[in-house]
Structure 1
Amino acid sequence: MDELNLQEIEKKLNTEYQSGQRMVFWYDAESSFEDEVDQLNLPGVQIVHLSEKNAFRIKMLLEHEEPDSRFLIYAPFEKPDVSKNHLEDTLLYSREFYADKLSLIAAEVRLPARLRSSFEGLKDFFNAGKTKLTVAQKKAGNERINAFVERSHDFDMTSADEDLVMLIAMSVVAKARNTTVDDLFYAVFSAGSIEQQEIIAELSKFGLEEAFWKLADSRFGYDDPKPSLLKLVMSLFVVYTFHDDLEIAPKEWKIFMQDRMKRQASNVTVLLENMMNNVIYQECFDELSDLVSEKLSVSKVLSMIPMEALVKTGSFKVIDHAIMTWMIERILAEDKNASLSGYSITDLCGIREKLHFHSSFKAEYTAIRAARKMLDATGFTVEDHLKDQINSYVSKNYRIDTEYRHFIAAYDQIENTTPFEKVRELIQNIYTTEYLEKAIFAWSTAFEKNELQEIIPMQRHFYADEVRPIKEKVVVIISDAFRFEAAKELEEVFAEDQNCSVKMKVKMGTLPAVTTVGMAELLPHKEIEMAEDDSHKILIDGKLCATTVQREQILQSANPNSAAIDFDSINGMKTSELRSFTSGKEVIYVYHNRIDATGEALKTENSVFKAVDEAISEIFKLVKKLSKSGNVYRFLITADHGFIYTRRPLEATDKLDTEAGKEGFADRRFIISKSNLSRLGIYAVRLSAALNSKDDRYINLAKGMSVFKCGGGMNYVHGGSSPQELLVPTLYVKTQRGVVDTEDATINLITEIRKVTNLRLSLDFYQEKPVSDLVKAATYRIHFVSSEGEIISNDVIYKVDSKSDKARERIGSLKFDIKKKNYDNSLRYFLKVINDKTNVEVLSRQVIMDLPFTDDFGFGV
């Protein structure tokens, strides 16, 4: 708002007369416009000067002599008291005009006369003093005035009180996003250093500091003779940390838990929980939490509190550290039945992952959950017969490989691995000693006895059994070293997609379990043979098959409408290129090589589990892309072979001497030789039986987990005989043409609630259907709100993702803290459930706020 001048006054006065006013009184207490008032251009209006002696004369003129004329009655003095003002009755049916800045602002926002004194205290805020101002100060003042006027439009100022006026002014200074008490505090907490509290100095400059601390007292119970933002924030976090049971707080913190603050615990909870759930203020919340944690020595103090009391508390990162330390200790003790407050280690990970700091410890909780599941592998027993071993692996034992992969992959993402190093040693020992050594040795023994008899379908029949019978366009994705356990994870991803159906089978891979052999077995063929020269190349019906071009030629010999392409080439195609490529094709082989390329290189072999995650994602996305843009709806996903990977350094006893001789060749898990090299730790099978050829050489295999001494990495290996290397997955995926209708998982309130009588309440919600391919997981925001839109509780984030068919396992209990304030009987109040993604309200339940008088001191915004 610019400086007042005659033009502005003239404009406002003319507006009054145009609106129908006949008489306007102007009391100019400082006689500021006594010399200029007659210069005003007020068409059809008589300007008369009121003095302390002519009141009766003016009254006669106004009411008797010219009762229809319009007048501006200008008085160069302060308005007299009612008892001494002879024109008071005339004022009742006229309009009083104010020409000072505060008065014009008050008129603009329709401030009632009873609040004029509150404006007097804001002269510095409105730049209404007589101090000469710089251009910058004038500009800043005008911005404050405009912001104040704009914010005031959100309220009915005719019924406002002084507290609301102060709140609007403080919100302007702090640049709060909205004019509410909570938003004001969020803005104050975000405005620079809490310890330096520059924002308090800014409030003080405009006479607002006292109002701020009064508000902190009335809303949160913070009352301090020497208040500071730091002490306020510490008090808020202490109360919030123990809001479930205020009596168990450590004695060192009692000083921050005044009785008034305890009584306002619900308001404190609403403030901080909504702050941590608000994407705008989450970073500020984290900074405050870290600051308070340091100032209050939270790690030390909370060590004296029973761990059970902290299970669902998410105010400080050190709580996560404490609970993780406890879980790690139980894992190191191999305590499979460990529980805290009735929750298992797996349950605890799930609870903590739903709290605020979960993103900071995602890798840690993933590692702990995987480690706990790995404990179940202790005492691992294995069947004698190969068929039973296969059945056990594909039904349950593969999960041990999966959890080991999850543990190592998560461990590699943890910044400070020191607390997990002994866990890694334990898990490594369980995986290798308790599981792999037993499983692979038993497999080798049974496999040797089996003499390559077919128990499950063989990989060599893949094209004849799976590809040739399909009567529509099919894409076969072959991912190098994509082992069975990884394919099971991909199967889950497809199962969760509404436009996909998936099933999975297993085939027995071919020895030696290497790329050249496995890739050949997946192509159409009558005979496969291995060259006996130094190249050891694989031939299909006498033809080379090492390159994509060569493989395409072999495919086209079986079906002319075939093609072969590598993953990077097809993945990089634009929609038009993709449609052109797939048009007219019946069989397309896509070669994907993320895992093996990573594992085979010595420098990157320790990243092989990360590569598995990438492979799962890449294959899924390729299927979706081909379905959407390439008009392909049938897919087969398989591998040439699997692999074994452990992070444990190999011992000398793990390495077998290479005895291939000049006529043979060796890899880490096998030796091709004309001699049967069977001895302790080595057994042999005929190459002719493995390849269904006439080759009289032997495949000499490391028995158990041992490897032959040769080049390359030793942690990532394949080529030998183990369920991890030989049990090759086949995923059968169909995608829908168009989009299948799906729905978000929905919830319903099963707790009967018509009236809210307590500041804390717990409500049970029921997930109506389990998550499936047609019912998708959803996240909801749930809170209580007034009919005016004021949120009066904490905003609870509820992720609905249960897949359980049991109804009782799909019930969630949520806690709500209601703001402590006086509730207006003229307003309505609701429990609202809002879809967090779509922002659509899915449930509304009206409630009565039947709370006792809460002494809110008027701060109802």
Structure 2
Amino acid sequence: MNKIKQSIEKLLDKHRILIWYDAEQAFTKEYEGLELSNAQKVQVEGNELEVKVQVLLEEPGQQFLLYIPKEKPENKENWLLDVELAHHVYHTDQEALYLQEVGLGYHYKEWMSKHLEFFKNKERVAAFKEIAQEEDGDHLLSLKLLQVVFQAKMLSLNEYLRNYASAFVNEKHESIERELERFKLKDIFWHEVAKKFGYTHEEPSIYDFLLEVFQKNFSPTASSSVVNKESEVMISTWKDTLSFQDDFQAISNRIQFDLHIEDILNDVSLDEVIDDDLFELIDQRIISELIRGILDDSVDRQRLEAVIKERESKYWFSRYEAFYNALTVGFNLLEAVNDTEQLVISHFDEGVERYTSEWYKIDQYYRIFIEQYRATNQNNVLNPLYKEVNKAYSNNWLLNISDAWQRTLDETEGWPVSNNAQTSFFKRDVKPFINKNTRLFVIISDALRYECGVSLHELMQKENRFDSSLDHQVTSLPSYTKLGMAFLLPHNKLSFDESDDILIDGDSTKGSRQREKVLKSHSGVDATVIDAEDMMKMASKSDEARELVTSHDLIYVYHNRIDKLGDDKSSEEKVIGAAKDEISFLVDLVKKATNMGGYNIIVTADHGFIYQNDVLEESDFADAEVSGDIIKTNRRFVLGNNLAHNESVFKYDSSEVGIEGDIEILIPKGINRLRVQGAGSRFVHGGATLQETIVPLIHIKKKREDTVEKVDVDVLNKRNNKISTNIQRVSFYQHEPTSEKILGRTLKVQFKSESGETLSDVMTYTFDSDSKNAKDREYEYKFRLSSKAKNEYKNETIYLTLEEQVEGSNKWIEYDRFPYTVNISFTNDFDDF
């Protein structure tokens, strides 16, 4: 009863008069008990003329339900025919009730009969009602039933198949298949698949279809598949659908096992699959071959960079990015070490200049290689390259550079003091800001060696509205925290107390509070010190932050991450990750300072370090046979008086390194470590190597105007904008080479309709060439147009759309677009000829 009442009231919302024939008088009781709020009930039995006068003439504004307890008469005998034609006949069969519920006419009764089972669920009915239209027709309505079954957001066969594939990989596809059978939709669905993709089978299944699609889109097996190239567009959009990533990867991994892709890859060349990206195994094969090529010198820089650039835009690259990065920096390190076999350093300043201009890169390559190697979970495939890199770095680089530098030091009297000496830091770098009454932040990162500073500088150069300039300074000896921190403070004279603590003009510099005291009394301005972590916790516009900045002209900010982890034997292997984290942290710290109103910043360090990832050999340790009044012993130095020693160390008096007093300093030669109980040995500092004694000096200024921009990208052949084949070649042009201040731009490109519907495969590419040759900055891509572009957009305009990702989000916004007219000939339907 309720259902009848609901359907009648719904129809009365659209029609003034409903005529209800009940030949078997099966609904007489329902009619008699029916209460309608806005319509008058009238029973018609031999009073047709009277009723017609009432509903048409006497009460033309009133709604009526005309109940006729007999069979509908022939038209020529039907007195109410004109009323019927002008209004609506209400039916009470099951099909009619469902049709009335979803707002479809009775002429769809035959179609409804085929799919009656579908409508026995109110959730399905509600979903279908949202999308069904009276004018759709039988076929389109069936496709909309499929839309509900596959829970698709839009009427799209690609989306149906994607959701079906998702259900399959999550073992939920059987319920879909039962529904396709129950609702008489299976043949309709697979007919649509056959029509679009050419897939036919006596017993079609989603996994069989997926196998065919993956075969078609993998170069070595493409010819054995029955599906057409329309599947390329579908696969491309699937890979670009964020919500489908986990399922796509699961499908791909299952198919690569079932199709024996590993065996196929073993029998083809790298060039045959360089453009393929369906299977994870492709990247694994490419990485393995590149490693072999690097180790046997069959891969040069041009080949390596070209292959990695090709893979950069491929689907699995993000999973293997650390592998490719390790290959790049590993190759760079081996090449750079090979170029420095014969090292000669004629004098102290030459060693410093060459290290800060070129040699530092080898230490940087090594740090980044270890970082990327660990990011791959130290994957076995990289082990041969790791061993070669580690051997080249430790045996051919560190030993050679330290021996060459040691020969220079042996011929140099004392420890030279130059314009870049750390002892001059305050007068040289800080005092000019004080003299101009300009507020300054000085950030001191413990053990931030020079090459880490270069990485920080490069990142700051890419930050908009920041200007960064890189220099260096040379520490004194020993290159350890207490001395380095003291040299960075304003001072006239430094000396040791009875231990190894440093005094400035008699005042202790041990700890931040004592350094703050020295800074306040010796700088001549309102000065303070703060821990970097405490500063980062401050809200930039808080009273606390405002007080810090407005009350002080000079703010020293200290941070200790690298040294803290490295100096502990139990955590020294974490120093590579610590260096990476510290560089990122310092970028944020600089931004925090500028947000608080500090627009001038200096970043530097107290000392550097040496790090070797492998456990050291016995030969790396030296027994200096030291005796005398020893104050402090470290892996890399000894402090004391009346020290006796052998030739494995060399000695400075404290006066030779800028410290008053008669303390003697012993430094191991080269990179040797002294034997010290319980101390770590892979991360060390305190000695005289270039890596330990050269630290970055970075001046950073916040600017009001933009300082960086991204390259502009254009389409070269945009005037030839008629699409006449399924394949459309498009050439892109990067206007200018990348540089410190001109950054690359990553774009996602595809053909779309005016409404935003994708009509081709999707290309993602990073335009970041630094070549000054314009030809090198061109890139061509062959887009495959979907059948929909040909069938539904002939002689219409579609758009080549270039989109750029919003930083920090998954949203892409339009960068540019170019109109194209579609006029694809029928001959292009012959896909494989």
Interval of TM-score (by shorter of Structure 1 and Structure 2): 0.7 to 0.9
For the pair 1:383 / 2:347, whether they are aligned, the reply is no
Relative distance call for 1:379 and 1:766 in structure 2 (3 A) is: closer
The aligned residue for residue 122 of structure 1 is 115
Measured after TM superposition, the shift of residue 402 of structure 1 is 0.9
For the pair 1:635 / 2:601, whether they are aligned, the reply is yes
Relative distance call for 1:303 and 1:37 in structure 2 (3 A) is: same
SS in 1 for 2:313: coil
The aligned residue for residue 193 of structure 2 is 216
1:220 corresponds to which letter in structure 2?
F
Kept in 2, the 8 Å contact 1:497–1:773? The answer is no
Measured after TM superposition, the shift of residue 391 of structure 1 is 2.2
Kept in 2, the 8 Å contact 1:234–1:292? The answer is yes
For the pair 1:833 / 2:802, whether they are aligned, the reply is yes
The aligned residue for residue 183 of structure 1 is 159
The aligned residue for residue 135 of structure 1 is none
Q: 1:496 aligns with which of 450, 462, 484?
A: 462
2:800 corresponds to which letter in structure 1?
L
The aligned residue for residue 365 of structure 1 is 324
The aligned residue for residue 825 of structure 2 is 852
Kept in 2, the 8 Å contact 1:483–1:639? The answer is yes
How many angstroms apart in 2 are the aligned matches of 1:32 and 1:846? Answer: 63
For the pair 1:537 / 2:501, whether they are aligned, the reply is yes
For residues 642-700 of structure 1, the C-alpha deviation after alignment (integer angstroms, 9 at most, x for no partner) is 001011322222211132213134321223355686765433333321125353x5433
The aligned residue for residue 430 of structure 1 is 392
How many angstroms apart in 2 are the aligned matches of 1:30 and 1:781? Answer: 66
The aligned residue for residue 379 of structure 2 is 417
2:561 corresponds to which letter in structure 1?
R
Measured after TM superposition, the shift of residue 486 of structure 1 is 0.3
For the pair 1:395 / 2:375, whether they are aligned, the reply is no
Coordinate RMSD, CA, aligned? 3.4
1:308 corresponds to which letter in structure 2?
D
Q: 2:638 aligns with which of 656, 667, 671?
A: 671
Measured after TM superposition, the shift of residue 510 of structure 1 is 0.6
Q: 1:146 aligns with which of 126, 134, 146?
A: 126
1:619 corresponds to which letter in structure 2?
L
SS in 2 for 1:125: helix
Measured after TM superposition, the shift of residue 180 of structure 1 is 1.7
Measured after TM superposition, the shift of residue 123 of structure 1 is 0.3
Relative distance call for 1:824 and 1:63 in structure 2 (3 A) is: farther
Aligned 1:22-421 pairs, distance under 5 A: 33=27, 48=44, 95-100=88-93, 102-103=95-96, 106=99, 111=104, 116-127=109-120, 141-152=121-132, 158=135, 160-191=136-167, 193=169, 197-198=173-174, 199-242=176-219, 248-249=220-221, 254=224, 257-258=225-226, 261=227, 263=228, 265=229, 267-337=230-300, 344-376=303-335, 377-380=337-340, 381-385=342-346, 386-415=348-377, 417-421=379-383
How many angstroms apart in 1 are the aligned matches of 2:390 and 2:291? Answer: 15
Relative distance call for 1:124 and 1:43 in structure 2 (3 A) is: closer
Q: 1:567 aligns with which of 532, 540, 543?
A: 532
How many angstroms apart in 2 are the aligned matches of 1:671 and 1:485? Answer: 27
Measured after TM superposition, the shift of residue 126 of structure 1 is 0.6
How many angstroms apart in 2 are the aligned matches of 1:433 and 1:442? Answer: 13
Relative distance call for 1:76 and 1:802 in structure 2 (3 A) is: farther
Kept in 1, the 8 Å contact 2:102–2:125? The answer is no
How many angstroms apart in 2 are the aligned matches of 1:30 and 1:758? Answer: 63
How many angstroms apart in 2 are the aligned matches of 1:192 and 1:29? Answer: 49
How many angstroms apart in 2 are the aligned matches of 1:61 and 1:852? Answer: 65
The aligned residue for residue 713 of structure 2 is 747
Measured after TM superposition, the shift of residue 334 of structure 1 is 4.0
1:843 corresponds to which letter in structure 2?
D
Measured after TM superposition, the shift of residue 3 of structure 1 is 6.3
Q: 2:575 aligns with which of 594, 608, 621?
A: 608
SS in 2 for 1:668: coil
Measured after TM superposition, the shift of residue 427 of structure 1 is 0.4
2:411 corresponds to which letter in structure 1?
K
Measured after TM superposition, the shift of residue 520 of structure 1 is 1.2
Measured after TM superposition, the shift of residue 755 of structure 1 is 1.9
How many angstroms apart in 2 are the aligned matches of 1:640 and 1:324? Answer: 40
Measured after TM superposition, the shift of residue 605 of structure 1 is 0.5
How many angstroms apart in 2 are the aligned matches of 1:788 and 1:569? Answer: 51
2:345 corresponds to which letter in structure 1?
D
Q: 2:690 aligns with which of 687, 699, 723?
A: 723
How many angstroms apart in 2 are the aligned matches of 1:704 and 1:102? Answer: 93
For residues 306-327 of structure 1, the C-alpha deviation after alignment (integer angstroms, 9 at most, x for no partner) is 2212112211111111111111
For the pair 1:577 / 2:577, whether they are aligned, the reply is no
Relative distance call for 1:110 and 1:836 in structure 2 (3 A) is: farther
Relative distance call for 1:43 and 1:530 in structure 2 (3 A) is: closer
Q: 2:402 aligns with which of 427, 440, 462?
A: 440
1:552 corresponds to which letter in structure 2?
E
How many angstroms apart in 2 are the aligned matches of 1:351 and 1:78? Answer: 75
Relative distance call for 1:384 and 1:171 in structure 2 (3 A) is: same
1:366 corresponds to which letter in structure 2?
N
The aligned residue for residue 424 of structure 2 is 461
Identify the range of structure 1 (807-816 vs 707-716) with the bigger mean alpha-carbon deviation: 807-816
How many angstroms apart in 2 are the aligned matches of 1:775 and 1:828? Answer: 34
Kept in 2, the 8 Å contact 1:481–1:596? The answer is yes
For structure 2, the 5+ residue unaligned runs are none
Relative distance call for 1:417 and 1:841 in structure 2 (3 A) is: closer
TM-score, length of structure 1 as denominator length = 0.85
Measured after TM superposition, the shift of residue 119 of structure 1 is 2.5
Kept in 2, the 8 Å contact 1:661–1:673? The answer is no
SS in 2 for 1:523: coil
For the pair 1:509 / 2:479, whether they are aligned, the reply is no
SS in 1 for 2:486: helix
How many angstroms apart in 2 are the aligned matches of 1:227 and 1:488? Answer: 60
How many angstroms apart in 1 are the aligned matches of 2:372 and 2:181? Answer: 50
For the pair 1:546 / 2:475, whether they are aligned, the reply is no
For the pair 1:12 / 2:11, whether they are aligned, the reply is yes
1:5 corresponds to which letter in structure 2?
I
Identify the range of structure 1 (586-595 vs 348-357) with the bigger mean alpha-carbon deviation: 348-357
Relative distance call for 1:553 and 1:760 in structure 2 (3 A) is: same
SS in 2 for 1:601: coil
Kept in 2, the 8 Å contact 1:823–1:849? The answer is no
How many angstroms apart in 1 are the aligned matches of 2:97 and 2:344? Answer: 92
Instruction: Indicate the percent of aligned positions where both proteins have the same amino acid.
Output: 27
Count of residues paired in the alignment: 803
SS in 2 for 1:790: coil
For residues 273-311 of structure 1, the C-alpha deviation after alignment (integer angstroms, 9 at most, x for no partner) is 222221111111111111112222221222222221211
Kept in 1, the 8 Å contact 2:443–2:556? The answer is yes
1:565 corresponds to which letter in structure 2?
I
For the pair 1:598 / 2:565, whether they are aligned, the reply is yes
How many angstroms apart in 2 are the aligned matches of 1:854 and 1:200? Answer: 36
For the pair 1:787 / 2:754, whether they are aligned, the reply is yes
Identify the range of structure 1 (399-408 vs 5-14) with the bigger mean alpha-carbon deviation: 5-14
The aligned residue for residue 133 of structure 1 is none
SS in 1 for 2:758: coil
Measured after TM superposition, the shift of residue 824 of structure 1 is 4.4
SS in 1 for 2:375: coil
For residues 190-243 of structure 1, the C-alpha deviation after alignment (integer angstroms, 9 at most, x for no partner) is 22546673222233232222222222222222211112222112112111223x
For residues 557-608 of structure 1, the C-alpha deviation after alignment (integer angstroms, 9 at most, x for no partner) is 2224111222222222333212212222111111111111111000110110
Kept in 1, the 8 Å contact 2:723–2:820? The answer is yes
Kept in 1, the 8 Å contact 2:796–2:821? The answer is no
The aligned residue for residue 859 of structure 1 is none
1:640 corresponds to which letter in structure 2?
D
1:849 corresponds to which letter in structure 2?
V
